[in-house]
Amino acid sequence: MDTAIATITADPASTCIAVTAWHDPIVDEHGHDPRSIYVEKFFLPVIGPTGSHVLRRLADTLDLHPDGIEIDLADLAQQMGLSYRPGNNSPFARALQRLVMFGLAHHTAHGIAVRRRIPSVPQRHLNRMPVSLQAEHQALDTTVTLDDFSRAHTIAQAMRSTGDSLTRIERQLVAIGTPATVAEAVAANLADLDRS
């Protein structure tokens, strides 16, 4: 069994682990949704496409089970089209290792805790990205107006009323020129409204 899995399973013969939410008040309030365009664009170069996909799937799972759930890693890997086998070369095990390595998950006594909100990419990782991505990230720091939020919220509510998903809403807002930070905030607001 590979070290990533061996360190998070209570029983070395089992592939089942407990997945819980990693509560971090600061990041939970100011962070990015794991399924957001921000994470897809700026964390994907850090944790890789498989790590991004695993993170998104675990976020979906925690949305359905906010108090945590026991999952079978082999089954989850198969559902995602990934191989699961003992050894450090398993794509699924490497993805889990990257989530832990880059502070998006951590080991617990019986499994793994995963962030529900993701912090901004650290500057040291941004420095390794292509200049175009660095410039795009820097542009996110531009000031947005109340009109930006109001317009985006009106469009998002209309889209939501027709049954569009939050992911589609966020992407469409960005496609029509809404700043990505505004689109993400509006989508997060709609998600909060859905939960209440």
What would the 3-class secondary structure string for 141-176 be? CCCCCHHHHHHHHHHHHHHHHCCCCHHHHHHHHHHC
* 10 has a pLDDT exceeding 60: no
H-state helical runs in 9-82:
25-30, 37-38, 44-64, 73-79
Give the pLDDT confidence score for residue 77 in this predicted structure. 92
pTM exceeding 0.75: no
**100 neighbors 107 (Cβ within 8 angstroms):** yes
Mean pLDDT of all residues in 50-69: 95
Give the pLDDT confidence score for residue 3 in this predicted structure. 42
Higher-pLDDT residue of 149 and 6 is 149
Q: CB burial class (10 A; 0-12, 13-18, 19+) of residue 193? A: exposed
Give the pLDDT confidence score for residue 116 in this predicted structure. 93
Higher-pLDDT residue of 28 and 56 is 56
Q: What percent of the chain has pLDDT over 70?
A: 89
Mean pLDDT of all residues in 17-37: 90
Task: Classify 115 as helix, strand or coil.
Answer: strand
- Token pair, residue 65, equals 């089970």
User: What is the tens place of the pLDDT at every residue in 95-138?
Assistant: 999 999 999 999 998 899 999 999 988 888 989 999 999 998 88
Q: Which amino acid is it at 184?
A: E
Give the pLDDT confidence score for residue 9 in this predicted structure. 45
Higher-pLDDT residue of 48 and 14 is 48
* 157 has a pLDDT exceeding 60: yes
Give the pLDDT confidence score for residue 194 in this predicted structure. 81
User: What is the tens place of the pLDDT at every residue in 64-102?
Assistant: 999 999 999 889 999 999 887 765 678 888 899 999 999
Domain boundaries defined on the chain: 3-127, 142-195
What is the average pLDDT score of the chain?
Answer: 85
* 47 has a pLDDT exceeding 70: yes
**Angle at which helices 146-161 and 180-195 cross, to 10°:** 50
Give the pLDDT confidence score for residue 138 in this predicted structure. 84
Extract the runs of DSSP E, i.e. beta strands, from the chain: 16-22, 69-72, 105-107, 111-115
Task: Classify 32 as helix, strand or coil.
Answer: strand
